[in-house]
Structure formats: C-alpha cells, structure tokens
Structure 1
C-alpha cells in the first residue's frame, strides 16, 4: 500500500493543536495552584503585620496544606506558634521538618535551632540542652553555646558552665575570663561546703590567675585564708586588691579589718581605710574603721578640743552626706532623757534602715540584703554595685 503524503499534512497540524491545548491546560492548572498558595501566604502575612496572629496562623496552615513541601511556610508557622506560647505545636512543626529526608543541610540546622528555641521557651531545659548540643559544628554553634551556658548557670552546674565558657573564650568572639573565674569561685564554694579546703584553694588560685583584675577571686581567697588561720596572707591579698579594685573596698572592708587584727597590722589597715574613705565615703568602710578603733580621719576634734570616740565617726559621716543608717547607728549607743522609750525608737529606726542596707541589681532592680555576684533575678553577672541602696 502506497503512503499518502496528504495524511502527514493533516496529522501534523492536529498533533500541534493537541500539544498546544495540553500545554495550555497544564500552565493554567499550575498558575491556579500557585495563585492559591501565595494568596493564602500573603493573606497570612497581612494578618501578621496587623498583629492578628490567630488569623495569620489559619492562613499559613491553609498555605502549608496547599503546598506541604514549602519549608519557609513551616518555619513561619512554627515561629508563630512559639510567639503565641503554643510550644507543643511549634515542636511538632519543627520535628516534622527534621523528619523530612529531602531537607537541605542548611534548613536542617535551622530547624534544629528552632526546635531548641521551642524547648527553651517552654522551660524544658533537659530537652533544650540535648537539642542545643546537636548544633555543635554548625553556623548556630556560638548561639547554642551561649544558651547552654545560661542553662548550666541557672541550674548551677558550674563544671559544665566552665567548659562551655572556655569554648566561647577560645572562639575569640569575646572575653569570658572573668565569667570563668566566677565559675571557679562557685566550684570553690561547693568544695568549702564539702570540707575540702585544699581543693577550694586550688580552684581559687586558678581563678585569680585567670582574672587578676576581678575582685571576687581575691576576696574569696582572703576569706579562705582567714578560715585557715593565715591572717597575714589574707591581709596581703586584700591590700593588693585595694590597688587593683579600690571601688570594691566596701565589699571586703570587714574582711580587711579581721585580717588586720589577726596579723596585728591594725595601723596599716587604718591608714588604708582612711585614705579610701576620704576618696569615696561608705558606711561599710566607716564601720571597719570603727571596729579598728579609728575614725574617718586621724583626729576629729569635739567641741571641747578632745578627739571623738571611734563610734562618733558616724557624726563625721553625717557631716559629709545625710545617712539614716549612720544616724541610727550613732543613736543606738546614746543615752537620752527618756531612756525608757529608747528601745522602741531604736526598733523603729532599725526597721526603717533595713531596706537602705540592701544591695540592688543595676540590671533588673532585684534587691537583697547580701551582695550577689550572680543576680538571682535576671542571672546577670557583676550587676550589683558594691554600695548599699542608701549610697546609690
């Protein structure tokens, strides 16, 4: 049978038309699907900008259902859940992402970091720790280490905190020497509580070498030396500290006075305390002077030309700055005409001055009767000034 070329002329246009119709159908279907997904996405974005988070979540869920392979929509949805406090739903979204086999390495690291943030915000510190440890060696490494450091410090796991701080120090992002010294001091305190004074001494020596400019390692070392009966060594430690950290003297003035008495070097201590008091008057330095039998200056003449008694140093303090604490301390040793009412008046004064003797965190305002190196409120280090609330 002979081939008829006319069939070729007919079939080619027909095939072309059918192909064109099929391609148009696919393009229209693709445009329709793409139009639906972005429409839901942009609607969610609009709700988000208007702070309508409930509607934004509904729109993003719709967008994810239309295009379940879109990672960015999953990340946006997970972040929205976390911001709303719906941590379980955020965890499910990010765990779903991590369970996908087609996820790129960059997106997998991002999802792991987001999952760690979910656990942190939910207060699930154990699970957060495990999730953060998986970020070692990723682009989120330093951020994960900072979060781990905060976890260990909050839970008072000082050895782990010290190890993480050392890694951060070695990364050259910032200096963590003072913070590492705090960790060593905390470990030393635990050793003192356990009765191992030798181990505590080694940790404090390491802390002093690590941060020689920081006051805490020297103060804790002097306290331990006093406990071991070595007053002369404790006095030398604190005298050296008065040169490197003079502003912190109110924190260790009492320890300096005790060390001076133990080492029989009261005269040197009086001279040092008077010099620093003249530069920066403080109730703690004043009381150390009074305990040594001295006064803010070498001699404060009274009205009759005789020097005042040591406790009258409170009067000299009041001449420089108004202080309800100093006034109360001076009145406590005075005798008055109506002496029978003195105890009641003194109790009222003591009650009024108690809040003034607190320390206040400069970061969060948390007040405490003792000085903290690590704020119990905001977890900040070295945020407590060495002066009382009345002196701020």
Structure 2
C-alpha cells in the first residue's frame, strides 16, 4: 500500500491552525481571569488606603470569589475583620485557611497566629491560650510566649507566668530575673494572706536570690520578718535593700522607722538616712528624718535633744534651701503654730500640695497615692519611680 504524501502537506497547515486557535483561546481566558482578580484586589487596596474598610472588605470578597485559592486575600480579609472588631468573621477566615490541605507550612503558622490574635482581641482567653500553645517551635514562638505571659499576668496565674519567663530567658530573649522575682513575691503575698508564713518566707528568700538588686523582694521580706517578730532579721533585710537598691529606700521608710524604734536601731537608721539624703535628697527622706528627730546640725545618727520643733524646722529649711518644694513649705509652716499662720492658709497649702505627693507611672502617666510595682493602668512592671510627682 502506497502512502500519499499529499495528505501530510494538507494536514500540517490544518494542525498548525488548530493549535494556534487553541493557544489563543487559552491565553484569552487566562488574560480575562488575571484581569478580573487583580482589578478587585487593587480596588480593595485603594479602599483600604482611603480608610474605607467596608468597601475594601467587599472588594476582597469579590477577589476571593474569582480566585478562592489565593491565601494572601484570606489573610488580608481576616486582618480587616479583626481591625473592624468582627472577630468571629476573622476566626472563620483563619479557620478556613487552616483546613486547607494545600497550605504551606509558613502560611499555616501565619494562619494559626492570626487565629490566636482573633481570640485575644475577642477576649476569649482560654481559646487564645490553646491557639498560642500551638505556635511553639514556629517562627511566631516568641510573640506567642509574650502573649501567653500577658494572659497569665491578667489571670494572676503566677506559676504559669514564671514558667513562660524562664523559657523566654533560656531562649535568649532578655533578662527576666526581676520579672520572675515579682511573680515570686506575688505568690508569697498570696501564701501570707492564707496564713502560710513559712512557705511565703522561703519564696521571698528565693526572690532575693533570683534578683539581688530588685528592691521589692528585700522590702517584702523585711515586712514579713517584722510581722513574725524577727526584728533583727528585718533590719538586716532593710540594710541589704539600702545596699542593693538605694534608690528604692524611700519606699521602706515607714517600715524602717517601725523596725528602728522596735529594735533600738534609731541611731544607725538616722545615720543611714543622712547618708542617703546627702547623696540624693528627697521628700520622704527628709520627712523620715523629721519623724526620727534627727539633729540637722549634729553628727550622723545624733538625735535632737530639743523638743520645741527646732529640729523639724532645721531639716525642712535645709531641704528648701536645696530644692523648692510646696509640700515641704507646708510642713514648715505647720511647725510655726496656729498663731503665726492662719489655719485656712495651712488647709489651702495642704490641698494644693496633696496631688504633688502622688506617684506617677513613667510609661502611661497614671498617678496614685500609693506606689505600685505593677501599673494598674498600662500593666507595666517597675514603671513607678520611688519619687513623688513634685520631685520628677
């Protein structure tokens, strides 16, 4: 049988034409699809830049319908829902991503992190905790641990918080020893309130070893020792506080006065306060010296022998010569007697100076009459200086 070559000559052009037509149809279809999705996507970006979040969400949903496999659109939509406060819709978006079998490991971790953020913003802390634990050994591990730390602090779960800071410190994320000492002090306070003084004492002793330069463990330890009647041990703890964290000594002054009077250590206490006052004058130090009736003209540790108020006036005037202070001026005028200064003037000065005796958070500016280790406003640790508002 002879093969006719004319069929080949006729078939080649026909095959070429058919292939060209098929390629044109595929290219045209791809072009239409690529034009639809980017158009909706860029429309959403434009709305987002113009702070039109409702329209941006509609545009991203349209883009997702045209290309449902695009993970980036899901992430953008989930973030938008969370920013708008629509946390349940954000949760559904991130859960949908996690259920996709074709998602890469990096995108799966990203979706898990987004889901944890959704739960945190929604206040569902138990679900957020579970989601954050699943981020261990991922690129989001450090951020997840910090978020867990915030949850445990809000819940006052100090053992869990201590476990997290140990992990952070072990991974080289910084020195958390002072934060850990705060947790130990918090646990000790809870035990002391329950009457378990010995375990509380052991925890405070451990806290002084965890962060030797932190003032709170020494102060809390001295207070508990004084409560137990161990006056000498309490005095030694205050001496350690003065040595390790001298800037925090003003916070211990009421306790120091009680311990000094109870143990007969008034002269060493006066010497200690005079030494610290010479280094850094402060309102609390001068008022403590007035209370202990220290002689402003005598040697360190010498008590004033006069009882007519001249010792108080001497210390107050000495402080006013170094630093102007409305609170100290009020105290000095109060020593002049009612015949010299009308009571209404003293009351006005007291009213004006009272806000100046507060403590202020250096992080958020929250003011309070008492000193806080943990700011109730911004939840920062050690953000309150041991100085009054007037001295800042």
TM-score, L = length of structure 2: 0.92
Structure 2 CA distance for aligned equivalents of residues 374 and 63 of structure 1: 47
Aligned to 1:21: 21
**Deviation sequence 1:218-275 (CA, Å, 0-9, x none):** 1111111111111111111111221221111111122222222222111111111011
Alignment of 1:1-392 (within 5 A): 4-298=4-298, 309-312=310-313, 313-337=315-339, 342=343, 344-392=344-392
How far does residue 296 in structure 1 lie from its aligned partner after superposition?
4.6
Kindly indicate whether the alpha-carbon contact (under 8 Å) linking 2:309 and 2:335 is maintained by their aligned counterparts in 1. Answer: no
SS in 2 for 1:188: helix
Structure 2 CA distance for aligned equivalents of residues 142 and 134 of structure 1: 12
Structure 2 CA distance for aligned equivalents of residues 227 and 361 of structure 1: 29
> Hey, which bits of structure 1, 4+ residues long, moved more than 6 A?
none
Kindly indicate whether the alpha-carbon contact (under 8 Å) linking 2:57 and 2:77 is maintained by their aligned counterparts in 1. Answer: yes
Structure 1 CA distance for aligned equivalents of residues 124 and 297 of structure 2: 57
In the superposition, relative to structure 1, how do residues 284 and 338 fare at CA in structure 2: closer, same or farther (>3 Å)? Answer: closer
**Deviation sequence 1:146-188 (CA, Å, 0-9, x none):** 0111111122221111111111111112111111111111111
Deviates more, 1:267-276 or 1:326-335: 326-335
Kindly indicate whether the alpha-carbon contact (under 8 Å) linking 1:274 and 1:296 is maintained by their aligned counterparts in 2. Answer: no
How far does residue 89 in structure 1 lie from its aligned partner after superposition?
2.1
Kindly indicate whether the alpha-carbon contact (under 8 Å) linking 1:165 and 1:176 is maintained by their aligned counterparts in 2. Answer: yes
SS in 2 for 1:354: helix
**Deviation sequence 1:308-357 (CA, Å, 0-9, x none):** 63332323322322222223333445423388x62x55444333222111
| Alignment root-mean-square deviation, CA | 2.3
Kindly indicate whether the alpha-carbon contact (under 8 Å) linking 1:242 and 1:249 is maintained by their aligned counterparts in 2. Answer: yes
Structure 2 CA distance for aligned equivalents of residues 240 and 310 of structure 1: 29
How far does residue 143 in structure 1 lie from its aligned partner after superposition?
0.7
Kindly indicate whether the alpha-carbon contact (under 8 Å) linking 1:232 and 1:260 is maintained by their aligned counterparts in 2. Answer: no
How far does residue 279 in structure 1 lie from its aligned partner after superposition?
1.9
**Deviation sequence 1:53-84 (CA, Å, 0-9, x none):** 33322221111111000001111111122223
Where in structure 1 are there 5+ consecutive unaligned residues? none
**Deviation sequence 1:201-231 (CA, Å, 0-9, x none):** 1111111111001111111111111111111
In the superposition, relative to structure 1, how do residues 306 and 216 fare at CA in structure 2: closer, same or farther (>3 Å)? Answer: closer
How far does residue 127 in structure 1 lie from its aligned partner after superposition?
2.0
Kindly indicate whether the alpha-carbon contact (under 8 Å) linking 1:277 and 1:296 is maintained by their aligned counterparts in 2. Answer: no
Structure 2 CA distance for aligned equivalents of residues 273 and 296 of structure 1: 12
How far does residue 2 in structure 1 lie from its aligned partner after superposition?
6.5
In the superposition, relative to structure 1, how do residues 297 and 95 fare at CA in structure 2: closer, same or farther (>3 Å)? Answer: farther
How far does residue 4 in structure 1 lie from its aligned partner after superposition?
4.5
Where in structure 2 are there 5+ consecutive unaligned residues? 301-305
**Deviation sequence 1:116-143 (CA, Å, 0-9, x none):** 1122222322222121111111111111
How far does residue 8 in structure 1 lie from its aligned partner after superposition?
3.9
